[in-house]
Amino acid sequence: MEDRMARTRSAAAAQDQEAERRPSLVDDAYAAMKQAIHDSSFAPGYQASEQEIALRLGMSRTPVHEAAIRLQEDGLVRVLPRRGILILALAPDDMREIYDVIIAIEGRAAELLAGLPDSRRNAVVAELAAQTDIMAEAWDAGDLAAWGQADAAFHRALVERAENGRMTRIVQTINDQSHRARMLTLKLRRELGASVAEHRAIIDAIRLGDPGEAQDRAHRHRLRARDELLPLLESFGLKHL
């Protein structure tokens, strides 16, 4: 009986709203292409034909075309009328734009978190602190991959716990755009150690319930990271990546 009710309820929910519809071919194409761009199987500047991609994915042109529209909306490719799909490159100026967006969004998120009521704020603080601890350990152990994962988790939590779906989505989109750059720079950067201290400063401000200070700390953290990254990229002559 409960069983039937449960099934009915979830079926209704699925119909109603947050349907986890099983992936369509369009979804497959979208995921495959995004993956290919992330791991540089599709290098920036490469001009692919929909036909060719469709063939490789074993589907017709239609779902590939529709996925390309979504990727264009995400800023990852450009669909050139009658000339194919162009994989977009990232210039240093794009990184400047991207960092400004992140500074804006994460700053506001930190501010919002610091304004939460005590109980929820403490839960958030605990989560952020846990990730930062993992970072510190990974740093000591020289485990760059673990460091990167925990850093990503910290920043993801920072935004997601502010419970603003639009802010979360914006940050995700922009992280997708800069994915290649992040992978590259993780290896280039020398000053990863500073992040732990800065994360803890952000956490402290949130713990104390000081929105202005939280915003400012988050702000400065990203600003410093950007100011270290951009010259690095330019000195390596990376006009586009």
Partner DNA sequence: GAGTGCCAACTTGCATGCAAGATGGCATTA
Partner DNA sequence: TAATGCCATCTTGCATGCAAGTTGGCACTC
Which of 64, 114, 138, 167 contacts a second copy by CB under 8 A? Answer: 167
Which of 34, 36, 42, 63 contacts DNA by CB under 7 A? Answer: 63
Binding mask 151-180 for DNA (x = CB under 7 A): ------------------------------
Compute the least distance from the CB of residue 152 to a second copy, in Å: 20
Residue 84 binds to DNA (criterion: CB under 7 A) = yes
Question: Looking at the chain, how many residues does it have?
Answer: 241
Residue 226 binds to DNA (criterion: CB under 7 A) = no
Helix and strand tally (H, E) in the chain? 11, 3
With CB under 5 to 8 Å by kind, the binding choice for 90 among a second copy, DNA, none is none
With CB under 5 to 8 Å by kind, the binding choice for 100 among a second copy, DNA, none is a second copy
Which of 171, 153, 164, 176 shows the shortest CA–CA distance to 111? 164
69-81 burial code (b ≥16 CB/10 A, e <16): ebbeebebbeeee
Q: Near a second copy by CB under 8 A, which window of 43-51, 93-101, 118-126, 142-150?
A: 93-101
Q: Near a second copy by CB under 8 A, which window of 70-78, 124-132, 147-155, 192-200?
A: 70-78
Which of 227, 197, 226, 178 shows the shortest CA–CA distance to 135? 197
With CB under 5 to 8 Å by kind, the binding choice for 59 among a second copy, DNA, none is DNA
DSSP for 25-62? Answer: HHHHHHHHHHHHHHTTSS-TT-EE-HHHHHHHHTS-HH
Which of 38, 59, 75, 175 contacts a second copy by CB under 8 A? Answer: 75
* Residue keyed to tokens 């602190």: 129
Cα dihedral 89, 94, 95, 96 in deg (nearest 10): 170
Which of 78, 54, 67, 75 shows the shortest CA–CA distance to 23? 67
Sign of CA dihedral 94, 97, 214, 172: negative
Q: Which of residues 23-42 bind DNA (CB under 7 A)?
A: 24-26
Q: Near DNA by CB under 7 A, which window of 50-58, 94-102, 108-116, 158-166?
A: 50-58
Q: Near a second copy by CB under 8 A, which window of 5-13, 121-129, 157-165, 189-197?
A: 157-165
- What strands lie across the sheet with 77-80, from one edge to the other? 47-48, 84-87, 77-80
DSSP conformation class of 89: P
Using CB under 8 A, list all residues that contact a second copy: 19, 21, 24, 65-66, 69-70, 73-75, 80-81, 96-98, 100-101, 103-105, 107-109, 112, 162, 164-167, 170, 174
